[in-house]
Chain A
Amino acid sequence: MTPRALRKLLDAILIPLLAVLSGLVLMGVLVVVTGKPLWESYQILFTSAFGCKNAATSCSLFTTLERATPLIFTGLSAVVAFRSGMFSIGQEGQYLMGAVMAAYLGYAIHLPYVIHPIVIILASMAAGAVYSWIPGILKVKLGVNELLATIMLNAIATTFTEYMVQYPMRADRGTTAHSPIIDATAFLPSFFQGSRWGVGFIIAVLAVIVVIVYLWRTKSGYEQRMAGQSLKFAFYGGIPSDQAAIRAMVISGALAGLAGAVEVLGVQHRIMTGFSTGLGFDGLTAAILGQTHPIGVFIVAILFAGLRLGAQIGLQIQVHIPQEVGGTIIGFIILFVAARKFYENSIASVRKLLTRNKDIKAKGEGG
């Protein structure tokens, strides 16, 4: 890598890195405040998140990767939307629509192996795409604020999902409603028996590559990025920005819908009450911390999933620190990244201090 490119990369990741470090420091504070051993906690956190003793039977890393998978998809969804200038936070709703579609087609239609999941995935992507197209067209044709529209659509989707689980698709007679388990032909296989990490992750990696190629190597991706960075420039140059924005929303929705399909086909194999656990928002935050770049999303999604898992099976069980510390730290990391000006100001002051010392030294030596 050329030194210039390296410099650019460092510039891009400096503040997120500082934010993550600040978050970890804060975790240390919380650990000390609750009277638990500090260094041991850090160790346990990391081994519980990313450790791997036996590939087949006890590998937290694989669990982390599996948990990161939906985040990668919803994060990519947010990246595509943001890069085209659409501040859509509708990943949650689009994800649910995709999941409902997948859960339904999993038992309602019967197709052979390999074909079944492919058809379902395409259908879920379509469901998410349509659900994202709605706020897109409203914004472009009528000027409706996409942030507010997607908030409302998220709420509608959440209630809709609960409805589907509790009534038309209900398969149980108990207190926690759930839909029928999907056909075996629809399953996305996992790599190891007993682990849920599987083909879904491969699809996620593929998605990252596809999004990178799409954004930076295709005409459409170029149009979207220009429209997102400078609408005036895009209009002046003749780029059809309206079409580009709607296309972005459709692709964004498809990715979020894909998240739902993969979660249902690969992990849960059905949907149940309380299916929506805020995965959409987590993907959104991954996109923010990951500097709206697909690779950033990939890394951060794994980081977030790891933090939560490490807190859950490591800190909670071994050191008796409540697992919520994981989510708390993630929240603070987002806060630190959002307040990047704080870091920028501090870095500038440090720089000023260093050059002032240099000047004083120079003057001292000259005079």
Chain B
Amino acid sequence: MGDFFQVFTFQLLNSGIRLATPILLAALGGALCNKAGVLDLALEAKMLLGAFVGILAAYLLHNTYLGVLVGMLAGGLLGLFFAFLYHKYEVDLVILAIAFNLIILELTVFLMRVLFNNVGSWTDPSIQILPDIQIPLIKDIPVLGDILSGYNAIVYASWLIVVIMYVVLYKTPFGRHIRAVGENKEAAETVGINARMIQTMALTIAGMLAAMGGAFLSVGHLTLFTRNMSDGRGWTAIAAALFGLNHPVWTGLASLFFGFTAAFSVRIQNVTNLDPNLVNMIPNIATLLVLVIIALRTKIWERMARSRFRSKLREEDRAKDIAKSV
């Protein structure tokens, strides 16, 4: 039993937050697109592209921060291209995403091998990992200090973006327009909102955010690029956005949920005999349940409108009978 509790150390919280970060960033992008009414299943591709371009740019420019920014740019361009194909050629979103995911998966490895002499994974001693930032006063606070301080810039950026996205979505006209487009495109267009432009922007921003998450994997965590670095995190991000009902804060928490279970599962492996994979299943099952609950809610609403009508009819009949008997 004591073993079990040994699992819960601050180490766990720390790694949970780190593991959650790429998922969080991509999930925010996905949530934004969902809010704008366009499903983005290409998060995996955008993340992987950000990882590759990020480390490559960091190497070429001798500056990891710049590398991350260039990676984000690449992700943004990919998102822009995605939006362009979607709007101009009416491509099916799902097929488009599957194609992008496959292309980026293979193309990044192809380029890596072509540029760096056919290696299976690439690194270079000159690349500097993103440094951990110790926040001056906070780091000295006894318990919270360990939890809040000492992460690299991308982690802090992700927290900031949660806040920014919340503010933009719910406190600015632009955010409101995004939500209007997602909920009722015609209503938005009637008042002059350009739905196409909004969806394009959402897809581009999602690309940048997912790419930032990918860059975290290649230069924020290790300094390495290997085939399929993202390893399904893009899909996890889609689940996190669903679970968080596309709300920035809830999506953030959902991503943390996914991150913590991942950290938890690793920890459990070292400490007990419980299987880590079972733990990893929990968030996915939870998301599926969320989908079911949402669908149930709509069904129940419809049923209730129906039964209200029927009881009204019964009342009318009863009133008629009473009137007849009088």
Contacts and interface: CB of A to CB of B under 8 A. Distances in A.
Nearest to B228: A278
A334 B100 CA distance: 9
B281 interface: yes
B288 A162 contact: no
Q: Is the interface of B mostly helix, strand, loop or mixed?
A: helix
Interface in A137-183: 138, 142-145, 147-149, 151-156, 158-160, 162-163, 166-167
A60 B98 CA distance: 28
Nearest to A276: B232
A142 B232 contact: no
A280 B114 CA distance: 28
Interface string B286-298: 0110011001101
B94 to A, nearest CB: 7
Interface residues of B, number: 46
A335 B86 CA distance: 11
B299 A142 contact: yes
A320 interface: yes
Contact of A152 (B100, B104, B291): B291
B78 interface: no
A138 B236 CA distance: 21
Contacts of A326: 106
B89 A158 contact: no
A114 interface: no
Nearest to A161: B277
A159 B107 contact: no
Contacts of A338: 85, 91-92, 95-96, 99
Contacts of B238: 151
Given A142-B299, A158-B232, A332 B99 contact: yes
B118 interface: yes
A149 B285 CA distance: 10
A162 B242 CA distance: 24
Which of B95, B109, B278, B298 has the largest number of chain A CB atoms within 10 A?
Answer: B95
Nearest to B297: A142
Nearest to B85: A339
Nearest to A341: B89
Contacts of A151: 41, 235, 238-239
Contact of B106 (A138, A154, A156, A328): A328
Interface stretch (A232-240, A260-268, A281-289): A281-289
Interface in B256-284: 275, 277-278, 280-281, 284
Contact of A166 (B88, B277, B284, B288): B277
Interface string A333-348: 0110111111000000
13 contacts: A30-B110, A138-B292, A149-B291, A151-B235, A152-B239, A152-B285, A167-B277, A320-B118, A322-B113, A335-B99, A335-B103, A338-B91, A339-B89
Interface of B: 41, 85, 88-92, 94-96, 98-107, 109-110, 113-114, 118, 232, 235-236, 238-239, 242, 275, 277-278, 280-281, 284-285, 287-288, 291-292, 295-296, 298-299
